[in-house]
Structure 1
Amino acid sequence: MNVCDDNQSGVKDTSTSTAVSWRELLSREHAGAAIVPAVGVLVGAVNIYLAASLLPTAVADLGGAGFYAGNMTIHLVAMVIATMLVSRFLARWGNVGAYLLGFGVFLAGSLVCAVSPVMAVLLAGRGVQGLGAGLLSGLDFAAVRSALPQRLWTRGNALMSAMYGVGNFVGPALGGLFAQFGGWRLAFVAMAVIAAVCGVLVPRALPRGGHGATRAPVPVVSLLLVTAATVAVSVAGVLSGAVAMAAGLAVALLLMALFVAHERRDARRVFPRSTYRPGSPLKWLYLTLALLAFGVAVESFLPLFGQRLGGLAPVVAGFFGAAISLGWSATQLVSSAAVEERTIGRLRVLGPLLLALGFLVLGLMQRQDAPVWLVLGWVPVLFVAGAGIGLAYPHLSVAVMSSTRDPEEGARAAAAIATVTSLAIAFGTAVAGALVNLGGASMLDAARYVLFGFAIVCAVGAVTARAAARTGSR
């Protein structure tokens, strides 16, 4: 039996035959179930970019510059671990209880960061924040699946994911503002207050439910393997020397291969059992989502290219990186209206191709001491690249959610979207760092290696999208 046996319409049944309006999604009946996941994404996205903007100021205040690189590693590892446990929290506490836990953990981590006397404590707080943010991230997809009718899943996912783009703008702006006035601690207090307000609203806004699923045992071995892989790839991203980075990436890939081998034969797994069945489209859907998320990692290096090649001021260059997320967010608000099966299938394939084309064109536009008009031309190209993610991502995520009618397996499938996304961004960041180092002293070479390399990798997403379509149609 393959995944289509659990869902008679299979992966193809990802939407209704008529368009669903935003008005219905935001109606009194469904608004709470749509807005809470969206706010959860927004809190996590703002926090990532807020912390990145504040960290230099915090280092100047607390010392511990040697811990600087560990900030993202700790946060990311914690996020990945939490996303892998989402279905267990849902089975135990339901939608409301799990969200209260997520916001509560995030609040606690923010307060630890705010009162940190030394950098080591700040990093511990960032780890706790990561646990809360990861739980919220995984819950967002699972809550959309369990709390909204299927006809609203695409719109719900689009609204939720659009918050990434909002966070990419709000985060650097708030972080820069607090850092400018030396109030980096107040920034974390503000995040704690936001989490507290969200926690108060959760019982009123989110429908109760999510209980009743079998409480599956914790997949300890899978957790350890993925955690080790995430640490390896994160460390690889900060190593000096292309050989050392390549070795770190090779270790991470080996650990992921061991993870897949373990999941295929062990009942304690993270991904739905149908992922590993012959003929299942789920593995191709997850791979396509991963390749799209892989491309998001370029955002971390675009400010560097803007400053070194385009002569942009740091604050301006910082917002260049958000152009991809802006294109992603804006486009999926429109693409989520697609309901025809053939159109949706084309969008899933077109998305990775458009993302790859954007990186290819941007790579061709790189120049040392580039003129202003050329640098400004990066923005629409980056927007188009992000639009590729927006075209495909909501429909791919809904296809994953629609892959089974079993509530427990469905919650696990939905929550795994966040795990795949976090892992892909971690791998993408490490690969981009390796390619930058490969450029050596030439920032122009580094930029071209990153952009051309990512164009090749992301283009593979069109192949995996086609494989998912072919497999799902059987």
Structure 2
Amino acid sequence: MTSTAARATGWREVLGGGRFPRFALLCLGIWLNAADALMTSTIMPSVARDIGGYAYFGWAIAGFMLGSIIAGTSAGQFSLRFGVRRAMVIAALAYSAGCVISAASPEIASFLVGRLLQGVGAGWIVGLCYVAVGTMFPEHMLARVLAAVSGVWGVATLLSPLIGGIFAEAGLWRWSFWLFAFQGIAFAIAAIWLLDRGGAALLRDPLPLRQLAVLTLGILCIAAAGLVPDAARAALLGLAGMAMLVFFVRLDGRSPVPLLPRQTGNLSSVPAAAYMMIFMLSAGTISFGVYGSAIMQALHGSSPLVAGYVIGIEAFTWTVASLFVAGLRSEWHSFYIRLGTSLIVVGVSGLAFAMPRGSLAEVIACAVLLGGGFGFCFAFMTRRLLASVPTEERAVASSAVPTMQLVGGAAGSAGAGAIANFLGFGHGIDAATAASGSFWLFACFVPVAAIGWFAAWRLARL
């Protein structure tokens, strides 16, 4: 009966009954997070030219992701403590404050503080939006509502490079953050007006503070490796950071409030293979998002707008590829897990050659391989992961998928920044630096992506 009702549900019913304003509010909340990464990648070369901070390119992305990780793990309890409406307002104001700090920054340190605060606010907003979806809409409407929310990410892929590119080309990169600060304030006002007050609830579980502290220290160690003057200390910091990430997994397995399924510490298990795949492939490909726009502008003569859209092709082809394989029967899942991860490794390898000496068309082809590879394999990997864990752990297992993406992206961003600084990018990114260093910037991540490929092939056999 429920499935029949779900199939019969139309948009008029979903948006009727006074639900449209709240539906629009949730879409705006998702937009604030979804549009941030591509917009920031597009304007970062302009930011660095204006206030310095070429050495901190990776920190700008890693800081946002780290804030999102911290907020994402606490969003559910945040809503219980304050109620959804009050929590939404606090989150939106935190996000807007971060945007204002970045927009007004006279130097890179305050800019990075703003980015961290933006990540915290955006992470809370997204988590709270998904909490609100389940409470504001009947079950038979959820399929359409969640599909629309997912569509916001696709819209962000098209519009956020345009926003960043227009402001960057006009020399007004600060106004991109002012624009999002105004949107965050509008979101807070609308939340006060549209959402029910709700009440606080008794919290049963503590926040996973120990895991978050270890995770944060690990990522900071990796990021700091690019700022020390000698190779020995840099290597020591990098190894310490990786050790902290391994310790995070072990610590999480013993925690009363785990962020990962209990089986993750067993290297022969499906969760271990799945999360290793997610972490390594996210870390192995993030350098394209962090440095791709700057290299294309310096070496290929691309405008900020064009460079932003080339970066956005990865996300666009991810969406297209995932739709292409969405209806395939289960016997095809292992094949596409293997095919998708193979395309990703080829794409990362291709960037090592296309960036320094190829044409822009070759860079675009590599971006298509990256996005298409993720689109082919990611949903099937998630299904196999969820099928392997006990029913009582499925909520933890599913929420850990985006968390592990963020952890991998944050660690990869920090690592990319460290490598880029050793290649001379920390002193500025011009044509000569981009030509001499971009091969190694991407080649160093081929082994990382290859480990993700190996984990995926193990997953396909389990």
TM superposition score category, shorter chain reference = 0.7 to 0.9
State the distance in 2 between where 1:53 and 1:444 align. 18
What secondary structure sits across from 1:228 in the alignment? helix
State the alpha-carbon separation in 2 of the partners of residues 282 and 39 from structure 1.
Answer: 33
Q: 1:193 aligns with which of 175, 182, 185?
A: 182
Secondary structure of 1:258's aligned partner:
helix
1:423 corresponds to which letter in structure 2? V
Q: Offset at 1:230?
A: 1.7
The superposition leaves residues 182-237 of structure 1 with CA deviations (integer Å, 9 ceiling, x where unpaired) of 54443323212322444455689899999979631122211210110121222235
Q: Which position in structure 1 is the counterpart of 2:117?
A: 128
Q: Does 1:255 align with 2:258?
A: no
Q: Give the aligned residue type for 1:301.
A: Y
Q: Which structure 2 residues correspond to residues 133-144 of structure 1 after superposition, within 5 A?
A: 133-139=122-128
8 Å contact 1:360–1:455 — kept in the other structure? Answer: no
In structure 2, which of residues 384, 408, 419 is the aligned counterpart of residue 424 of structure 1?
408
Output the TM-score relative to the length of structure 2.
0.75
Aligned to 1:324: 314
- 2:366 pairs with 1:377: no
Q: Which residue of structure 2 lines up, in the alignment, with residue 299 of structure 1?
A: 289
Q: Distance in 1 between matches of 2:411 and 2:97?
A: 28
Tell me, yes or no, if the aligned pair for 1:438 and 1:446 is still in contact at 8 Å.
no
Aligned to 1:225: 214
Matches within 5 A, 1:143-158: none
How many residues align? The count is: 444
Aligned equivalent of 1:449, options 427, 443, 447: 443
Could you say which residue in structure 2 is the equivalent of 1:75? 64
> After the TM superposition, which residues 87-166 of structure 1 pair with which residues of structure 2 at under 5 Å, given as runs?
87-93=76-82, 98-114=87-103, 120-139=109-128, 163-164=152-153, 166=155
Deviation by residue 1:4-25 (Cα, 9 ceiling, x = unmatched): xxxxxxxxxxxx999x98x969
Equivalent pairs: percent with the same residue?
A: 24
Q: What's the CA shift for 1:416?
A: 2.6
Root-mean-square deviation over aligned CA pairs: 4.5
* Alpha-carbon distance in 1 for matches of 2:135, 2:277: 23
Gaps of 5+ in 2: 425-432
Tell me what 2:279 maps to: 290
For 1:192, what is the secondary structure of its paired residue?
A: helix
Moved more, 232-241 or 202-211: 202-211
> Which structure dedicates a bigger proportion of its chain to helix?
2
Gap change, CA 1:154 and 1:121, over 3 Å in 2? same
What is the 5 A alignment of 1:409-420?
A: 410-420=394-404
Aligned pair 1:388/2:373, yes or no?
yes
Instruction: After TM superposition, give the deviation of residue 55 of structure 1 in Å.
Output: 5.4
Are 2:61 and 2:413, in contact at CA under 8 Å, matched by a contact in 1?
Answer: no
Q: Secondary structure at the match of 1:269?
A: coil
Which stretch shows the higher mean deviation, 127-136 or 277-286?
A: 277-286
From the superposition, tell whether residues 115 and 345 of structure 1 become closer, same or farther in structure 2 (CA, over 3 Å): same
Unaligned stretches of 5+ residues in structure 1: 1-15
- 2:223 is aligned to 234
Query: 2:258 aligned with 1:269, yes or no?
Result: yes
Structure number with greater CO (CA < 8 Å, separation at least 6) is 1
CA contact (8 A) 1:348 1:392 kept: yes
Alpha carbons of 1:439 and 1:53: their partners in 2 closer, same or farther (altered >3 Å)? closer
Change (3 A) 1:72 1:41: same
